[in-house]
Structure 1
Amino acid sequence: MLLYNLIFLIILILFLFLLRILLFKTGLIYTVNKLWRITQDWCHVYQFLTIPELQNETFHHNPLYTKISLYLHSLSSIEDSDFTNLVNGKNENDIVLTLNPNQIIQDNFLGATVFWFNDSKLRTFVLKIRKVDKRRILRPYLHYILTVSDEIEEQGKRDLRLFMIDDGDRNQRWRSVPFTHPSTFETMAIETDLKNKIKSDLTSFLKAKQHYHRLGRVWKRSFLLYGPSGTGKSSFVAAMANFLKYDVYDTDLFRIQTDSNLKSLLLQTKPKSIIVIEDLDQFLHENEKTATKTSLSCSGLLNFMDGILSCEERVMVFTMRTKENIDPNFLRPGRVDIHINFPLCDFSTFKTMANNYLGVKEHKLFVKVKEIFEKGTSLSHAEISELMIVNRNSPSRAIKSIISVLEMDGDGRRRSGLIGRQGENDEYDDGDEGLRKLYRVISLKNSRGGSSSANNSGPLR
């Protein structure tokens, strides 16, 4: 009897083992289904339609690719895909499912079943649809995808991206990372009137597509942000991106090899994006000083600014430290719509920053700070914010530190009366190293034996 029970147990174990193999993904059922799909493909039951990210001949970005990507990642059937990626969403507690490269996802529309394949190497989506269903559902299906993706964008569910030039790609393409910069117009220490004017202008731009086209103009807007380093130009760009819900393209002119590369990069940008050209004045000065001109010409840059290539639904932002000695052709109306000056910090801006960083609207030391500012002495927003962050637990200590920096005298240090506002003729040297040493001295002095650290929410770059 015991022998029979043992034999029965062994047979049961073997049966369960074979059943597991049969039902497992790499087992018989999976293999049979795969062979069946291959047979159908071989018999031309299905037709395959490709949607590339870039159009082959012009390398122009294909907007349909972005729409389909938004749609596919919204499908509940992505959970049934063989492999999916789990990533964080906009908030740290949000978990988002994304389609794994080279995997198949199924969708149903008007009683027909279609399949999507994500070819990561070719950067394309492939739609697999039965020939008998194609004529009946293809156009309505694509219109449905566009409608759903537009709704996702309007609801603000699309994650913003920061694009940078990929040095590892010889054709110079973009690579992207999530754009998570927290800057908003509400957190910016700028005049309320200016802030409201910019928000109103951007809101009007979003609704002005038909108006621009009626005038025969490209639907784009361009800004020039100029002023000393550390005055908030990059944070302002981030605030614009978060306000518009636009992606950001960080365009480093020194890394672009030729006019052709610049055109190709511009064609690859997507609608609903901000194209940022930082330190334009430095590039122009270097181009003039260099005996051997760079391959990227000024005429190519002017064409870029004019929007001769496709720039629909885009905002262009150029940053400079100074507008002096810049060819007026680069700054004329039509190429640059709005000029915004970012000066060094004044007392009004200081009070706004004290409220944002320290939670202080009034303080007995404000009188002393105001006196120093009225003498023409000042610091950049970044310098003041750093001192406030380091001493954020003690508003009095933070304000005293700022007063000390403004009044400090000695070799290699700023002197009251000599720190004044940077004019248009000032040199490009920021003295950042001296400030870093000064911050370390103040931090050690005020920490009372402890050490304090803080994350610096710096500019985009």
Structure 2
Amino acid sequence: MEPSLKEAVIADMERFRCRKDFYKRVGRAWKRGYLLYGPPGTGKSSLIASMANYMKFDIYDLQLSSISDDSELRRVLLATANRSILVIEDIDCGGDLPDRKTAQVCNNPKFCFRFHSITLSGLLNFIDGLWSSCGDERIIVFTTNHKDRLDSALLRPGRMDMHIHMSYCTSQGLKVLVQNYLGRDGGTHKLYGEIERLIEDAQVTPAQVAEKLMTSDDADVALDELLNFLMVKGGEATETTKTDSEIDEECD
């Protein structure tokens, strides 16, 4: 992660941890919601594990597709413990959540295919309604590859309080990865400067960079592999841009 973003997440969790009396005073459930969004392979699941390790919280992985209705959703919530992180991954991939009116008739295959009779209203109550007030010190984390597909009612503060964009690898992220996988020598390697120059425009994920760095314990081999990968990715981007430009000229 970018150091500034990492510090912001840590500061937010620390503020949440220390504000039990504040939540009680203002009459709100002692919970915090996070949305992690961005392309696949950018570290969303890894960040959740890091958050749990940092806070020393348990993790509950909730699969909405296995929940039959709102009542079962409530029972699942009641079964979770305090000081826990509840994870709903890929919230955009489960299908459509019917609203209150549509949910009254659940024989529509479009709405009942995967979520059965779970409603948007039920999910919202699950996040910040009466159901969420039955415990203390809880974190709810949603992940998605497509933030724009989510209902605006889910995105508002009180449900997804902090939105964390997990993006492609940058020079700062590269520096951390190289040091983690290759040690201090990686940052002073003769190939590092060229790799750092290419990384900003290549649009590669941290997972892809890490995979190349794992090819060998030898910094020469690993960084050469990464450099060749970035050069190929850059070539693909240039080729795609050129093709799009040519199409525009034809249209003109």
| TM bin (shorter chain) | 0.7 to 0.9
Per-residue CA shift, 1:10-57, capped at 9, x if unaligned?
xxxxxxxxxxxxxxxxxxxxxxxxxxxxxxxxxxxxxxxxxxxxxxxx
The within-5 A match list for 1:54-453 is 190-285=1-96, 291-293=110-112, 294-309=116-131, 310-359=134-183, 360-374=186-200, 376-391=201-216, 393-408=217-232, 415-417=236-238
Quick one: which amino acid aligns to residue 371 of structure 1? R
CA contact 1:406–1:415 (8 Å) conserved in 2:
no
SS at match of 1:340: strand
CA contact 2:97–2:119 (8 Å) conserved in 1:
no
Quick one: which amino acid aligns to residue 225 of structure 1? L
Q: Give the 3 Å change call, closer, same or farther, for CA 307–387 of structure 1 in structure 2.
A: farther
SS at match of 2:32: strand
Per-residue CA shift, 1:403-460, capped at 9, x if unaligned?
2222237xxxx8243699xxxxxxxxxxxxxxxxxxxxxxxxxxxxxxxxxxxxxxxx
SS at match of 1:343: coil
Per-residue CA shift, 1:260-315, capped at 9, x if unaligned?
11110000000010000100111245879952422222211111111421242101
More strand by share: 1
Q: Give the 3 Å change call, closer, same or farther, for CA 255–372 of structure 1 in structure 2.
A: same
Per-residue CA shift, 1:93-122, capped at 9, x if unaligned?
xxxxxxxxxxxxxxxxxxxxxxxxxxxxxx
CA contact 1:258–1:295 (8 Å) conserved in 2:
yes
Q: TM-score, normalised by structure 2?
A: 0.82
Q: TM-score, normalised by structure 1?
A: 0.46
CA contact 2:16–2:32 (8 Å) conserved in 1:
yes
Structure 2 residues without counterparts, runs of 5 or longer: 100-107, 242-252
Q: Give the 3 Å change call, closer, same or farther, for CA 241–279 of structure 1 in structure 2.
A: same
The one of the two structures with greater contact order (alpha-carbon pairs below 8 A, sep at least 6) is: 2
Q: Give the 3 Å change call, closer, same or farther, for CA 404–258 of structure 1 in structure 2.
A: same
Quick one: which amino acid aligns to residue 336 of structure 1? M
Residue of structure 2 equivalent to 1:20: none
Residue of structure 1 equivalent to 2:250: none
Distance (Å, rounded) in 2 between the aligned partners of 1:255 and 1:338: 27
Structure 1 residues without counterparts, runs of 5 or longer: 1-189, 421-461
